[in-house]
């Protein structure tokens, strides 16, 4: 049972990859110069989904994929031209296919209405002859007894496919095709069975099969695991050659195959004797009985019993390949499996944790050795440095495993854009930039929902109706732009629209009406924009079916904050709105300054610090009772006392001014954080405080230092905020010098 | 853990007895992960006084509570015998600073008495029952209640 479940899981995982390839291919097809291979790739993706779906009895999915595939096949065989309308339909079909896959995976009901519409449109492209063909799957039960059943199913699936594609071919004069089929060892190891393939071919026409046993070595050197027979097949068929390629589609990397269209049937006189004649009898004599058993051998004895060097069956030497054959070869190259490895996420995470411990341990060792006070220039120091670099390399390598391009996420969003524009009657296109940007897998997963919401919002509320856009002299088709980029240790993801921009008066009005702000509040534009993030805020005049789902932007903000990120808005009336999500690159480590604040050791992320300043007394000025500012190149920057904001008592004995760290908040406001001293710069492993305790304002997480002690990681952004609202300023027991300074500045 | 002494089937449970704020308490042994010597912790800002800070437990960051302070018995004075009981409570791992750990008790469930009906509801909730050992009354701590909502623990 669980075995079947895992096969099912694998199928859906593969579906995801196939859907990705499908979307990619469809996008390429929009380029008028796309290669034939692109169409083939799209076709293959749909076809493979259909094949797998058939094996799991997902009839709806099979039916849809089949219709989709049949139309694609017409494009592939040049009987149908892929004009923009059709491409758009393909896009929507791809969306529906993805929906169906998701529905099947989650055992939910798909949106049948939308599906029926797309299906209907697809069927319009089909002639009467291929509109209602029966899709027959012979062995579609869910009874997975033996491990070898799945490949068999695929083979059989092929059969049905070939028979159905028959209709799409012209089916006029019959062809005579010679096939040279030399299975590789891997074909048998993957549980394929030539007999089933031959059966499938036999259904296409009249088939003659003969075995060329010349490649079978002498008995002493014989390796039962090594296939020795080269099969020669002659097929007389009315089918097109592509159908034949489909039969071998699932094994084409597992065998040497050479398909030659010999001649049209009319001229064909030579029956199979010619091929029969090629079979050399002389050499094969003692081996033949074994040889016939050879193909089955690997299934029965997985370990390789032979030791002598066994020659692979001679590769096809025939240079004269039909044009279609080179296409098939190109096919193979393109399809050559990306060398990837599917690994259980748990294992990766365990590895990441261990590497985190390694980094901590390395810091500990360094600290211990420093305590030994070795003479300077000791070799040990160099080795330690190398150790540090190695640990860092390992750590970065491990983190890279988790990093994934945002492409699939963006692709999903373009689907959302299409769905949303369909639902709202708006025209929208999606532009993505930087979709190769890699982000931690967890971040990608947890961003899906907030992004979906934001993209829907952008189409629903951001873009104007086509009429309005036309009236304003804009392109009728609105653009939703998604970009991702790495910038200074963070990931920036932007979702922008070229719509009307935020309607600030209305936002203000709504906020006042909902009692979120006082009626007489004076707010800056940025502050008004940020009202969107308040819980219980929704600007939609009437809650639309699309974006009004009880989720507000506050949910988006919370989701992003939970990932250690931030969201900000910029908006220009008439020009559009852009949301920017800033996320940490990884969730596991960061570079930080080790600082001390009121005798406590803490860490502050380097990424957030613009500059460190050891202030001169003449640059410090007091404002009011507790306020203090720093003059930086003619600009006055408020000073935020970290100790005070954390409710720690600052030791007034230490030199009063400490070190100032210049930080910029998301609102582009400068602030200077006052700390006692900076001790070191190092990579620290981020440990969650929330998992065992909870959130503490001004603190984003904790880390473990070289001495095994815990240091808190500060959140500069929040520290600054604490300054402005939450914390009532505690009077510092100012020392005489401070007071003196205040009076004379 | 049963606070109902009427339980028809008497079972034996093991408790670790300790002292906090000069009173005797105990915790069921299965809740306890380990017992460590007290070592200075990293203080957390913006936390109540019974939250001493966080410490490193083999790479995990766990909060340490002063149990006596939590029960309103005043802060535990510094002492060499002070220990931290690392316990699991509601999915979290936490540490409790106590004065000392005394013994392991094997107790039959029917010898656990219901918490006397005292006025303070908070106390009634945080004490699951009492066990009489010789002359002493040992209070069975209800860890989840003690570290309830106001502990700052994320749910």
Burial environment of residue A668 by CB neighbours within 10 A (0 to 12, 13 to 18, 19 or more)? exposed
B35 shares contact with chain A (CB less than 8 Å) = no
- If one counts the domains in chain A, the total is 5
Q: How many CB pairs under 8 A join A and B?
A: 75
Q: Which of A584, A605, A634 is the last residue of a domain?
A: A584
C-alpha distance from B66 to closest chain A C-alpha (Å): 14
A708 shares contact with chain B (CB less than 8 Å) = yes
**pLDDT tier at A144 (50, 70, 90 boundaries)?**
very low
Q: Does residue A640 or residue A153 have the better pLDDT?
A: A640
pLDDT at A364: 80
B57 shares contact with chain A (CB less than 8 Å) = no
DSSP labels, A481-494: EEEEEEETTEEEEE
CB contact under 8 A, B45 and A648: yes
Interface predicted TM-score of the whole assembly (ipTM), two decimals:
0.78
Q: Which residue range forms the structural domain that includes residue A414?
A: 406-584
pLDDT at A489: 65
Of A83-92, A129-138, A278-287, A733-742, least confident by mean pLDDT is A733-742
pLDDT at A495: 92
Please compute the mean of the pLDDT values over residues B50-66 and round it to a whole number.
Answer: 87
pLDDT at A322: 42
pLDDT at A173: 57
Contacts of A697 in chain B (CB under 8 A): 45-46
Contacts of B55 in chain A (CB under 8 A): 710
B59 shares contact with chain A (CB less than 8 Å) = yes
The partner residue sitting opposite B45, judged by closest CB among A694, A696, A711, is: A696
Contacts of B96 in chain A (CB under 8 A): none
**Residue A137: pLDDT above 90?**
no
CB contact under 8 A, A689 and B56: no
A156 is a domain residue: no
pLDDT at A655: 54
Please compute the mean of the pLDDT values over residues A627-646 and round it to a whole number.
Answer: 85
CB contact under 8 A, A353 and B47: no
The partner residue sitting opposite B61, judged by closest CB among A646, A689, A698, is: A689
The partner residue sitting opposite A360, judged by closest CB among B42, B53, B59, is: B59
pLDDT at A63: 86
CB atoms within 10 A of CB A66: 19
Q: Does residue A593 share a domain with residue A578? A: no
* φ/ψ bin of A633: left (φ > 0), alpha (ψ from -120 to 50), beta (otherwise): left
Report pLDDT digits (tens) over A711-736. 999 988 888 877 654 444 333 333 33
* Number of Cα atoms under 13 Å in the Cβ half of residue A361: 11
Of A212, A270, A262, A258, nearest to A237 by C-alpha is A262
**Residue A174: pLDDT above 90?**
no
A358 shares contact with chain B (CB less than 8 Å) = no
A342 is a domain residue: no
C-alpha distance from B98 to closest chain A C-alpha (Å): 19
Q: Does residue A720 or residue A540 have the better pLDDT?
A: A720
Report pLDDT digits (tens) over A351-402. 887 887 788 788 888 888 888 877 766 678 788 888 888 888 887 788 788 8
pLDDT at A147: 42
Contacts of A702 in chain B (CB under 8 A): 42, 54, 61
B52 shares contact with chain A (CB less than 8 Å) = no
Q: Does residue A331 share a domain with residue A271? A: yes
Q: Does residue A631 share a domain with residue A531? A: no
- Which residue is listed with tokens 């970290």? A642
Cα separation, A422 vs A428, whole angstroms: 9
What CATH number should be reported for the domain holding residue A605?
2.30.30.40
B95 shares contact with chain A (CB less than 8 Å) = no
The residues facing A569 across adjacent strands are A579
pLDDT at A164: 41
**pLDDT tier at A320 (50, 70, 90 boundaries)?**
very low
Find the helix packing angle between A194-202 and A149-168, rounded to 10°: 20
C-alpha distance from A701 to closest chain B C-alpha (Å): 10
Please compute the mean of the pLDDT values over residues A118-145 and round it to a whole number.
Answer: 59
B46 shares contact with chain A (CB less than 8 Å) = yes
Contacts of B59 in chain A (CB under 8 A): 353, 356-357, 360, 687, 704
The partner residue sitting opposite B54, judged by closest CB among A356, A689, A695, is: A689
A343 is a domain residue: no
Tell me which of B45, B92, B150 to substitute to probe the interface with A (most A C-beta atoms closer than 10 Å): B45
Which residue in A has a C-alpha nearest to residue B57's C-alpha? A708
Q: Does residue A527 share a domain with residue A602? A: no
Cα separation, B46 vs A340, whole angstroms: 48
Q: Does residue A518 share a domain with residue A479? A: yes
What CATH number should be reported for the domain holding residue A545?
3.30.565.10
Q: Does residue A495 share a domain with residue A615? A: no
CB contact under 8 A, B56 and A710: yes
**Residue A347: pLDDT above 60?**
yes
Please compute the mean of the pLDDT values over residues B129-146 and round it to a whole number.
Answer: 87
Query: Are the C-beta atoms of residues A259 and A331 closer than 8 Å to each other?
Result: no
Please compute the mean of the pLDDT values over residues A328-338 and round it to a whole number.
Answer: 48
Which residue in A has a C-alpha nearest to residue B53's C-alpha? A710
Report pLDDT digits (tens) over B25-44. 999 999 999 999 888 888 88
pLDDT at B109: 82
Contacts of A690 in chain B (CB under 8 A): 154
A704 shares contact with chain B (CB less than 8 Å) = yes
Which residue in A has a C-alpha nearest to residue B47's C-alpha? A696
pLDDT at A656: 62
**Residue A300: pLDDT above 50?**
no
Query: Are the C-beta atoms of residues A72 and A65 closer than 8 Å to each other?
Result: no
Of A394, A229, A221, nearest to A307 by C-alpha is A221
**Residue A435: pLDDT above 50?**
yes
DSSP labels, A645-710: HTTPPP-TTS-TT-EEEEEE-TTS-EEEEEESEEEEEEEEE-B-STTTT--BTTEEEEEE-TTS-E
The values of phi and psi at residue A224, to 5°, are -60, -20
Cα separation, A444 vs A100, whole angstroms: 22
The partner residue sitting opposite B42, judged by closest CB among A646, A691, A712, is: A712
Which residue in B has a C-alpha nearest to residue A644's C-alpha? B45
**Residue B74: pLDDT above 60?**
yes
Q: Does residue A181 or residue A329 have the better pLDDT?
A: A181
A707 shares contact with chain B (CB less than 8 Å) = no
pLDDT at A196: 79
pLDDT at B149: 45
Q: Does residue A68 or residue A375 have the better pLDDT?
A: A68
Query: Are the C-beta atoms of residues B129 and B113 closer than 8 Å to each other?
Result: yes
Cα separation, A568 vs A552, whole angstroms: 15
User: Domains of chain B, with CATH numbers?
Assistant: 12-145 (2.40.50.180)
C-alpha distance from A694 to closest chain B C-alpha (Å): 5
Structure tokens at B72: 């309103």
Structure tokens at A228: 């020795």
A242 is a domain residue: yes
**Residue A306: pLDDT above 60?**
no
CB contact under 8 A, B92 and A702: no
Of A3-7, A329-333, A533-537, B138-142, least confident by mean pLDDT is A329-333
CB contact under 8 A, A704 and B59: yes
CB contact under 8 A, A691 and B154: yes
Cα separation, A351 vs B135, whole angstroms: 53
**pLDDT tier at A587 (50, 70, 90 boundaries)?**
low
Q: Does residue A251 share a domain with residue A324? A: yes
Q: Does residue A247 share a domain with residue A393? A: no
Q: Does residue A279 or residue A706 have the better pLDDT?
A: A706
Q: Does residue A116 share a domain with residue A27? A: yes
**Residue A295: pLDDT above 60?**
no
Q: Does residue A138 share a domain with residue A85? A: yes
> DSSP character for A303?
S
A317 is a domain residue: yes
Q: Does residue A376 share a domain with residue A439? A: no
The partner residue sitting opposite A694, judged by closest CB among B59, B93, B153, is: B153
Tell me which of B53, B60, B61, B152 to substitute to probe the interface with A (most A C-beta atoms closer than 10 Å): B61
Cα separation, A23 vs B149, whole angstroms: 48
pLDDT at B97: 93
C-alpha distance from A713 to closest chain B C-alpha (Å): 11
A646 shares contact with chain B (CB less than 8 Å) = yes
The partner residue sitting opposite B45, judged by closest CB among A699, A704, A709, is: A699
Which residue in B has a C-alpha nearest to residue A719's C-alpha? B45
Please, what is the average pLDDT of chain A? 73
Q: Does residue A422 share a domain with residue A296? A: no
Contacts of A647 in chain B (CB under 8 A): 45-46
Q: Does residue A190 or residue A288 have the better pLDDT?
A: A190
A51 is a domain residue: yes
**pLDDT tier at A696 (50, 70, 90 boundaries)?**
confident
pLDDT at A283: 44
Q: Does residue A702 or residue B154 have the better pLDDT?
A: A702
**pLDDT tier at A592 (50, 70, 90 boundaries)?**
confident
C-alpha distance from B153 to closest chain A C-alpha (Å): 4
B55 shares contact with chain A (CB less than 8 Å) = yes
**Residue A309: pLDDT above 50?**
no
pLDDT at B99: 92
A348 is a domain residue: no
The partner residue sitting opposite A692, judged by closest CB among B46, B47, B93, is: B93
A341 is a domain residue: no
A600 shares contact with chain B (CB less than 8 Å) = yes
**pLDDT tier at A578 (50, 70, 90 boundaries)?**
very high
Which residue in A has a C-alpha nearest to residue B155's C-alpha? A694
């Amino acid at each position: 049972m669980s075995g079947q479940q895992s096969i099912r899981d694998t199928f859906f995982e593969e579906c995801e990859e196939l859907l990705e390839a499908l979307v990619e291919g469809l996008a390429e097809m929009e380029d008028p110069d796309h290669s034939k291979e692109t169409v083939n790739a799209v076709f293959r993706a749909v076809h493979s989904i259909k094949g797998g779906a058939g094996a799991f009895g997902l009839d709806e999915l099979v039916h849809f994929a089949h219709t989709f595939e049949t139309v694609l096949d017409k494009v592939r065989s040049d009987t149908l031209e892929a004009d923009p309308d059709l491409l758009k339909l393909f896009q929507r079909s791809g969306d529906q296919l993805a929906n169906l896959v998701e529905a099947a995976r989650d055992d939910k009901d798909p949106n049948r209405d939308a599906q029926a519409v797309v299906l209907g449109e697809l069927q319009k492209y089909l002639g009467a002859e291929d509109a209602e063909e029966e899709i027959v799957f012979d062995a579609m039960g869910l009874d997975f007894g033996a491990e070898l059943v799945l490949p068999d199913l695929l083979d059989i699936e092929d059969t049905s496919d070939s028979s159905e594609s028959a209709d799409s071919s012209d089916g006029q004069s019959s062809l005579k095709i010679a096939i040279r089929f030399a299975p590789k060892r891997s074909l048998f190891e993957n549980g394929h069975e030539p007999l089933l393939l031959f059966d499938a071919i036999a259904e296409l026409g009249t088939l003659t099969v003969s075995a060329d046993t010349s490649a079978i070595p002498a008995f002493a050197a014989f390796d039962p695991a090594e296939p020795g027979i080269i099969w020669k097949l002659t097929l007389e068929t009315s089918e097109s050659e592509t159908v034949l390629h489909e039969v071998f589609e699932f094994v084409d990397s597992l065998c040497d195959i050479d398909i030659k269209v010999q001649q049209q049937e009319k001229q064909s006189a030579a029956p199979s004797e010619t091929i029969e004649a090629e079979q050399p009898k002389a050499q094969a004599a003692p081996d033949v009985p074994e040889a016939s058993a050879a193909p089955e051998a690997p299934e029965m004895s997985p370990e390789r019993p032979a030791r002598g060097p066994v020659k692979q069956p001679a590769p096809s030497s025939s240079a004269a390949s039909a044009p279609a054959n080179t296409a098939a070869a190109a096919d193979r190259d393109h399809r050559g499996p990306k060398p990837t490895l599917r690994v259980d996420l748990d294992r990766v995470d365990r590895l990441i944790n261990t590497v985190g411990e390694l980094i901590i341990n390395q810091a500990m060792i360094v600290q211990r050795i420093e305590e030994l006070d070795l003479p300077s220039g000791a070799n040990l120091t160099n080795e330690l440095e190398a150790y540090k670099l190695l640990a860092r390399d390992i750590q970065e390598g491990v983190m890279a495993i988790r990093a994934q391009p945002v492409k699939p996420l963006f692709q999903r969003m373009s689907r959302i854009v299409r769905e949303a524009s369909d639902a709202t009657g708006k025209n929208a296109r999606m532009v993505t930039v930087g979709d190769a940007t890699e982000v931690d897998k967890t971040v990608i997963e947890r961003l899906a929902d907030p992004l979906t919401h934001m993209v829907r919002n952008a189409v629903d509320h951001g873009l104007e109706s086509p009429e309005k856009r036309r009236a304003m002299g804009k392109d009728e088709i609105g653009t939703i732009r998604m970009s991702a980029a790495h910038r200074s240790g963070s990931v920036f993801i932007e979702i922008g629209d070229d719509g009307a921009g935020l309607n600030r008066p209305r936002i203000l009005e709504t906020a006042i009406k909902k009692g979120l702000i006082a009626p007489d509040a004076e707010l800056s534009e940025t502050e008004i924009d940020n009202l969107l993030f308040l819980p219980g805020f929704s600007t939609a005049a009437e809650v639309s079916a699309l974006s009004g789902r009880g989720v507000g932007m506050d949910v988006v903000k919370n989701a992003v904050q939970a990932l250690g990120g931030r969201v900000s808005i910029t908006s220009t009336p008439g020009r559009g709105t852009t949301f920017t999500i800033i996320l940490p690159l990884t969730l596991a480590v960061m570079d930080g300054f080790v600082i001390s604040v009121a005798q406590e050791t803490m860490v502050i992320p380097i990424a957030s610090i613009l500059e460190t300043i050891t202030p001169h007394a003449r640059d410090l000025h007091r404002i009011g009772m507790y306020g203090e500012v720093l003059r930086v190149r003619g600009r006055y920057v408020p000073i935020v006392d970290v100790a005070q904001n954390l409710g720690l008592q600052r030791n007034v004995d230490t030199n009063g001014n400490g070190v100032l760290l210049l930080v910029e908040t998301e609102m582009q406001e400068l602030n200077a954080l006052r700390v006692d001293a900076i001790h070191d710069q190092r990579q620290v492993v981020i440990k969650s405080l929330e998992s065992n305790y909870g959130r503490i304002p001004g603190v984003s997480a904790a880390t473990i230092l070289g001495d095994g002690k815990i240091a808190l990681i500060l959140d500069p952004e929040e520290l600054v905020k604490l300054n402005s609202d939450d914390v009532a300023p505690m009077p510092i027991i100012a020392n005489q010098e401070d007071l003196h300074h205040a009076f004379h500045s | 853990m049963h606070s109902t002494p009427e339980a028809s089937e008497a079972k034996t449970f093991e408790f670790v007895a300790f002292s906090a704020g000069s009173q005797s308490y105990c915790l069921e042994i299965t809740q306890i992960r380990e017992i460590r010597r007290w070592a200075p912790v990293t203080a957390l800002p913006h936390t109540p006084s019974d939250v001493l800070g966080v410490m490193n437990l083999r790479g995990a960051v766990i909060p340490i509570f002063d149990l006596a302070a939590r029960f309103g018995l005043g802060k535990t004075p510094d002492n060499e015998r002070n220990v931290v009981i690392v316990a699991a409570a509601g999915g979290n791992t936490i540490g409790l600073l106590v004065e000392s750990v005394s013994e392991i008790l094997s107790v039959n469930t029917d010898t656990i008495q219901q918490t006397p009906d005292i006025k303070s509801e908070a106390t009634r909730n945080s004490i699951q029952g009492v066990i009489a050992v010789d002359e002493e009354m040992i209070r069975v701590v209800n860890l989840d209640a003690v570290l309830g909502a106001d502990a700052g623990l994320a749910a």
